[in-house]
Chains A and B, each alone.
Chain A
Amino acid sequence: MRRTHPLVTILAMFTMAFLYLPLMAVAVFSVNATKYGLVWRGFTLDWYLKLFHNEVILNAAWNTLVLAVVSTIVSTILGTVLAIGMDRFPWSKRVNTFLDMVLHLPVVIPDIILAAALVVAFGLLRMVSSMFEPGLLNMIIGHITFQIAFVALVVRSRLVSLGQEIEEAARDLFASTGYLLRRVTLPLLLPGIVAGGMLAFTLSLDDFVISFFTAGPESVTLPLYIFAAVRRGVTPQIHALSTLVLLITVILVVGTERFSRRR
């Protein structure tokens, strides 16, 4: 067996440290019993307890959850339908290339551009209805717009790997379109759909930029709250809150990995 050069090992360790030390630091300070400074004063869970008594934070957590759940459900359904439509309809080659580009664009486009575009779009929509005042509805719509592309990409890759022959076999065995979807396509797509949905949920949970540009005074989410709070000074409570958000994200990412690797 070939041994790796020690330098490679050192570099790898350094990279890991670079990635995870700041996160570890946040987690450590969230259980440090001092309010200011970087000195260790003993272990405490006070900051976490205080979190759960802070109305503003609880409200922000609730907003974050509502935003993530609603936008994820809608975008998962729409993204799945989009993926099936793109992959299974006999588009001409040129249309297919175009659709492919349109689908990838929201993924590679900087969030800030999308956010600015949403501001303009909602500005126009406000001339039609006051529903589109900055607030939770706008945020949900904004999140859905970028989530759809991610869901559709994940579901479509699953569709491609499934191939068409199984669906042809089902049609050859007298399955109507409804029966085919219910008994064959959707069950086989499920790992892809769940993985796509979890990815969308994580993205919504962590999103700051889109939320910042579309939020109203009543619809502060955790990322927005943390941002505002940090400007007033970093407190151990923020560390605790960040650690919790980080933990949830990690759990979701691991869950997605697990699920999409099945079969």
Chain B
Amino acid sequence: MDSESGGGLVLQGMNKHFGRVHAVRDVSLEVPAGEFFTLLGPSGCGKTTLLRIIAGLEMPDEGRVLLGGKDITDLPATRRQVNTVFQSYALFPHLTVFENVAFGLRSRKFPQDEINERVGKRLEMLGLEEMAQRRPDQLSGGQKQRVALARALVNEPEVLLLDEPMSALDAKLRAQVQVELRRLQQKLGRTFILVTHDQDEAMVVSDRIAVMRDGAVIQSGTPEEVYDAPRTRFVAEFLGAANLISGKVVDGGLQTELGFLHLEETPPWSQGTVAIRPEWIRLHESPPAQNGIRGRVREVIFRGTDYDLWMEPGPLRVRSHTYKHFKPGDEIWLELAPDELVVLHEA
């Protein structure tokens, strides 16, 4: 499926200002039908504004929104086949769970039979049948979230928008809900667009991620692409941990304060930064053939399956499995292999 068919979404040249704040800058995106797409970025990066533009709750200053090949930029929210799960869920406090879920069908005057059937089906799918007659204030956070999800999905939207839907849940429940959400999306085969500032969440659920900063999309791709080959310092640091090493290009490599490092590709700059993730650094008893650095353990942090080692020189951060024991003061060889060093595309 592609972005022309039902549920495929295209954003072209989006721009939005709030007073003097440039909230969305020249954003163009294509989301094929059936994809789980995530807008990832720190708060205030414009991701929620972009979501609200897709929902029709905000008008862009410039740019078009195309849904299934049709231009819906000028359609109000009430006439878009797009539904939203709001950050605070925005459940109707005066209505029962059943009536909350039925709201979108009632407002379009569906017959009662069909309302009963469709609402019943969604409540069952999300395990909410018992809650049907309760009011939102009698529900737990996780239940509220599922009601919000059912209320949006009952309308069978071409695109489901999720605005930080898990920020109100505790860490354990969040991890569980992320997996459930991913399964649900795959079962329904619908386009989901999620907004989050949580990089773990983005990687767990998404087919593709767009990393946003200051209103612009900096990099997009599959979670592996974005994690393995971050293009900028910001992306490298925002998604997981990264060691950033600066240096000057000399013949066949990079001269850094840690010493000479061989690189696989020639950087597009003469002076700049390369990144390496803590778990990509290999540890050796004896010097490796290439890119070896003699390091001393300064601090050891136990993380269950791993140790985080803060090394000198550096501060270099290394992640090591627990079956190797280290204590502060130990000396060890670090291998920053050329194929693990990512050249960042910004000087």
Contact = CB atoms under 8 A, between A and B. Distances in A.
Nearest to A168: B57
B90 interface: yes
Interface string B75-91: 01111001110101011
Interface string A186-223: 01100000000000000000000000000000000000
Nearest to B77: A171
Contacts of B106: 183
Interface in B73-116: 76-79, 82-84, 86, 88, 90-94, 103-104, 106-108
B49 to A, nearest CB: 13
Contact of A174 (B55, B57, B107): B107
Nearest to B104: A173
Interface string A245-263: 0000000000000000001
Contacts of A170: 92, 103, 107
A172 B87 CA distance: 14
A73 interface: no
Contacts of B76: 171
A171 B108 CA distance: 11
Interface string B259-301: 0000000000000000000000000000000000000000000
A165 B79 CA distance: 18
A173 B94 contact: no
B15 interface: no
Given A172-B84, A175-B78, A165 B93 contact: no
A184 interface: yes
A174 B108 contact: yes
Interface in A224-241: none
Given A172-B83, A173-B107, A175-B107, A166 B78 contact: no
A187 B93 CA distance: 10
B54 to A, nearest CB: 11
Give the residue among B57, B79, B152 with the most A Cβ atoms within 10 A. B57
A165 B57 CA distance: 10
A171 B55 CA distance: 10
Contacts of B104: 173-174
Interface string A53-79: 000000000000000000000000000
Contacts of A174: 78-79, 104, 107-108, 155
Contacts of A179: 107
Given A173-B151, A173-B155, A176-B78, A168 B103 contact: no
The contact size tier of chain B is 20 to 34
B267 to A, nearest CB: 47
A174 B107 CA distance: 6
A188 B83 contact: no
Contacts of A176: 78, 107
A176 B109 CA distance: 11
A168 B76 CA distance: 11
Given A184-B92, A187-B94, A173 B86 contact: no
A24 interface: no
Contact of A169 (B56, B79, B90): B90
A263 B151 CA distance: 23
A169 B90 CA distance: 6
Nearest to A263: B93
B154 to A, nearest CB: 9
A166 to B, nearest CB: 5
A172 B152 CA distance: 9
Contact of B55 (A172, A183, A184, A188): A172
A179 B106 CA distance: 10
B86 A165 contact: yes
A172 B94 contact: no
B316 to A, nearest CB: 45
Nearest to A173: B104
Contacts of A263: 93
Interface string B108-128: 100000000000000000000
Contacts of B108: 174
A179 B57 CA distance: 17
Contacts of A188: 92-94
A165 B88 contact: yes
Interface in A150-187: 165-166, 168-176, 179, 183-184, 187
B107 A169 contact: no
A118 to B, nearest CB: 39
Nearest to A169: B90
Contacts of B107: 170, 173-176, 179, 183
Nearest to B76: A171
A176 B83 CA distance: 15
Interface in B150-173: 151-152, 155
Contacts of B78: 171, 174-176
Interface centre among A170, A173, A183, A187 (most CB of B within 10 A): A173
Contacts of A172: 55-57, 77, 82-84, 152
Interface of A: 165-166, 168-176, 179, 183-184, 187-188, 263
20 contacts: A165-B86, A165-B88, A166-B91, A168-B77, A169-B86, A170-B107, A171-B57, A172-B55, A172-B56, A172-B83, A172-B152, A174-B78, A174-B107, A174-B155, A175-B103, A176-B107, A179-B107, A183-B106, A184-B92, A188-B93
Given A166-B91, A175-B78, 7 more contacts: A165-B86, A166-B93, A172-B57, A173-B152, A174-B107, A176-B78, A188-B92
Nearest first, the 6 A-B pairs at minimum CB distance are: A173-B104, A169-B90, A165-B90, A175-B107, A171-B77, A174-B107
